[in-house]
C-alpha cells in the first residue's frame, strides 16, 4: 500500500479504541469519553431539562457503557450505542421521578403526515431551546431524537420504548406546538 493510499483510507480509530477499552485499557475508554461526552450531555440535557440531572445521567451513561462494553456489537456506531444508553438512563430517571410525583395524562394527536416547516422569522437559538424545553416529555423526546439527532422513526421509537406510530404522532405534536410557541407559519 502506498503512502497516498494510507492517507486516503478511512482509519477506524474509534473501533480501535473500543477494542482497547474492551481489553481493559482505561485510557482508551477515557478518550472515547472525551470524544462523546458533549453529545451525550446535550442529549441528556434536552431530555431532562435540568443541568445537574443531565450531568448525573451523562456520568451514569458512561458507567453503564464501561460495564456493558463487552456486549457492544459493532452493528451500530459507538456513539449510537451510547445515545441508546443515555436515553434509557434519562427515561429511567423520569420513571423514578414519576413514581414519586404523578404526572397528568398527555393527549396524543392523530398520526398524520407532518408538513415540512422552516423558520420564517429570525429566532434566537435560546428561544428555540426554551420552546423545546416546554414541550411535553413524549413530544420533546421524539423531536430531540428524530429531528435533532437524526435517528429514524424506527430507531427513536425503539429507544423510547414506544410504537413507531406513537413516535411519529409525538413528533407531529412537537412540531405543531413549536410552530405555535415560536409564532411560525407553515409555508
Share of the chain above pLDDT 70, in %: 79
One domain, residues 85 and 18 = yes
Distance CA 141, CA 170 (A): 8
What's the structural domain count of the chain?
2
Q: Are residues 84 and 130 in the same domain?
A: no
Question: Is it the case that residue 145 has pLDDT exceeding 80?
Answer: yes
Which tens digit of pLDDT belongs to each residue from 50-91? 999 999 999 999 999 999 999 998 788 899 999 999 999 999
In a domain, 118, yes or no: no
**113 lies in a domain?**
no
CA–CA gap between residue 36 and residue 157 (Å, rounded): 22
Domain enclosing residue 73, as ranges:
12-100
Q: pLDDT by residue (tens digit) across 94-140?
A: 888 777 765 444 343 333 434 444 444 455 677 888 888 889 989 99
Angle, vertex CA 31, rays to CA 60 and CA 87, nearest 5: 30
Residues 96 and 17 in one domain: yes
pTM: 0.67
pLDDT-based confidence at 7, cuts 50/70/90? very low
Checking if the pLDDT of 37 tops 80, the result is yes
- What per-residue confidence (pLDDT) applies to 147? 86
Q: What pLDDT is stored for residue 114 in this prediction?
A: 40
Do 57 and 131 lie in one domain? The reply is no
Amino acid at each position: 500500500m502506498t503512502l497516498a493510499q494510507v492517507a486516503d483510507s478511512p482509519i477506524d480509530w474509534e473501533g480501535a479504541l473500543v477494542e482497547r477499552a474492551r481489553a481493559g485499557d482505561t485510557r482508551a475508554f477515557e478518550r472515547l469519553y472525551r470524544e462523546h461526552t458533549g453529545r451525550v450531555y446535550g442529549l441528556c440535557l434536552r431530555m431532562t431539562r435540568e443541568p445537574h440531572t443531565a450531568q448525573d445521567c451523562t456520568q451514569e451513561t458512561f458507567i453503564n457503557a464501561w460495564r456493558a462494553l463487552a456486549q457492544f456489537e459493532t452493528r451500530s456506531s459507538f456513539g449510537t450505542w451510547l445515545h441508546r444508553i443515555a436515553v434509557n438512563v434519562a427515561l429511567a430517571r423520569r420513571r423514578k421521578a414519576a413514581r414519586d410525583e404523578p404526572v397528568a395524562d398527555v393527549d396524543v394527536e392523530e398520526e398524520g403526515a407532518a408538513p415540512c416547516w422552516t423558520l420564517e422569522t429570525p429566532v434566537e437559538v435560546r428561544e428555540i431551546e426554551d420552546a423545546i424545553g416546554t414541550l411535553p416529555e413524549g413530544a420533546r423526546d421524539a423531536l430531540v431524537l428524530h429531528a435533532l439527532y437524526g435517528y429514524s422513526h424506527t430507531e427513536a421509537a425503539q429507544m423510547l420504548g414506544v410504537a413507531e406510530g406513537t413516535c411519529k404522532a409525538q413528533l407531529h405534536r412537537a412540531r405543531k406546538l413549536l410552530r405555535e410557541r415560536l409564532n411560525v407559519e407553515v409555508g
